Structure 1
């Protein structure tokens, strides 16, 4: 019989990927996540929190992300089979163990807590489960969590502080051969405080923090989804433009209680409204790095019309609201 597999078009596989993508929610996270606070670039975290750009992932990548989540119940079973008690749900809330700081603007959710870890059976441990490719796993074996995976280290420090725990049990799997690696991590209050304060500075910053590098070809900048909004690309105006929503607007401010305030209308902004923005939207000027602020005017509503001057040129543009940026001549022609 002829081998049909090599003649079969990838239609079904494409359909599987399409189905995965269709099921995926594209709604952005409401908060700055504890799982990413250890990123090296504070400016990137500010862009994440401000919803500057939503990176799209195809079905294959989404399936890859799902693989890590699917491993968690298996690791829990492995631990319970070894006589370790693992709790994934907080009885006080009926939900996953969670931590929050700064009014809820900074949050995270733990994989679980456990007691009966063989090296310290009477000590409660935070549980954090991760999967690694072969290269990453070998670095983990060589250098440990703090050096090889600083984001993971920051995450468990923040979660231990939030849950009042003094130890974390970090369990990792090599996706190549199923080898397991475990590391007990000690709570360090100074380091946890550092990450929590870092989150505060990012959340309440009116402007993007300093770049990690002023060189667009720096390896972390070169492949960053925010590169054009940070360093400026070839176009005067970024293409695509930053997202239009309340968090990219100069009129909105995060509040200490976890809410967002529209300074223009003096009203609290629900999540759904934050996503939509409004006709008086004006971008935070630093999101258009090839333009510099020339002056600002007030509209009848009191909203600011920001006039930009092209860097090194006399061409001017107007942030005309509702996601529009036009030349000065075009704007004045509409008056």
Structure 2
């Protein structure tokens, strides 16, 4: 192998290392709340498991961010107003509820033909994009995206949104106007509140008790080994029975009666760590295979 042949491997390593150094998401996200499984959302908020990704996967995830500037440029050529940031704050549009434990950031707000609307940009693989085209409905083919937009519209007091999808394989575009559905947004906010205030993970039902259910299988859900194989969670303050969320990224430890104010503190976990009762009371993880 020559000197230059090593560059690709070095780049892959650098991409993965950079991702590992990124700060964990401290809140329950609006982009996640449309997921059907309450237990899944509880695991997300409680950092039950941090999934590992390859450099290729991380590059694919990053495509959405890279597409934003292109799409905003196209919108500016046809809209009266294009606001990627909130003019009142100078920062990305953001909504938050329940002491900021639930929050989300919006892509853009536009004014077209005198009408203000939320815009949401999504990149799709070819199979996902074709499914969207087949149904011609975000609600039918991408219900998580639909729920996300409904929460944003409700909190920003907008009555419509423009969903803009791009096929990563072909650059084909799909546009759909979505109108406000207050019942949907209220349902999702009630779900968020239930997950945040749950006294135990056991209070949050699984989507299915069967490990063979298609949405619960290995490869479909990263928490399969926790819900269906009895594996222990990642050890941190959020998977500890003594802690609970109080505001934003801040959690409270009932064992030591103090706030856990930083991500680093919560990741550390102390010697009094006790897995929450949704997990097996064991320090040793159960071995399992992802194959």
Q: Deviations over 1:256-290 (max 9, x none)?
A: 677421111221111232221211110012212xx
* Aligned match of 2:131: 139
CA distance 1:82–1:286, change in 2 (3 Å): same
Q: Unmatched 5+ residue regions in structure 1?
A: 289-307, 309-318, 327-335
1:268 equivalenced with 2:259 (yes/no): yes
TM-score, structure 1 normalization: 0.78
TM-score, reference length from structure 2:
0.89
Three-state SS of the structure 2 residue aligned to 1:217 is: coil
Deviation at 1:227? Answer: 1.5
For 1:331, the equivalent position in structure 2 comes to: none
Partner of 1:190: 183
The partner residue of 1:59 within 33, 36, 55 is: 55
The match for 2:209 is 214
Q: Indicate the residue corresponding to 1:174 in structure 2.
A: 167
Distance 1:12 1:325 in 2: 39
Please state how far the C-alpha of 1:8 moved relative to its aligned partner.
10
Task: Give secondary structure in 2 for the equivalent of 1:169.
Answer: strand
Alpha-carbon deviation of 1:23?
A: 2.2
Give the deviation of 1:90 after TM superposition: 1.0
Shift of 1:217: 1.8
Q: What is the total number of aligned residue pairs between the two structures?
A: 278
**1:227 corresponds to:** 224
**Which of 94, 97, 102 is matched with 1:101 structurally?**
97
Q: Secondary structure at the match of 1:18?
A: helix
Specify the structure having the higher radius of gyration (Cα). Answer: 1
Instruction: Structure 2 unaligned segments of length 5 or more: list them.
Output: 286-291
Offset, 1:12 = 2.6
Question: Is the Cα–Cα contact under 8 Å of residues 107 and 120 in structure 2 kept in the other structure?
Answer: yes
Pair 1:10–1:252, CA change in 2 (3 A): same
- Alignment RMSD: 2.1
Runs of 4+ in 1 over 6 A off after TM superposition: none
- The equivalent of 1:248 in structure 2 is 239
When structure 1 is superposed on structure 2, of 255-264 and 194-203 the one drifting more is: 255-264
Q: How does 1:104-119 map to 2 (within 5 A)?
A: 104-116=100-112
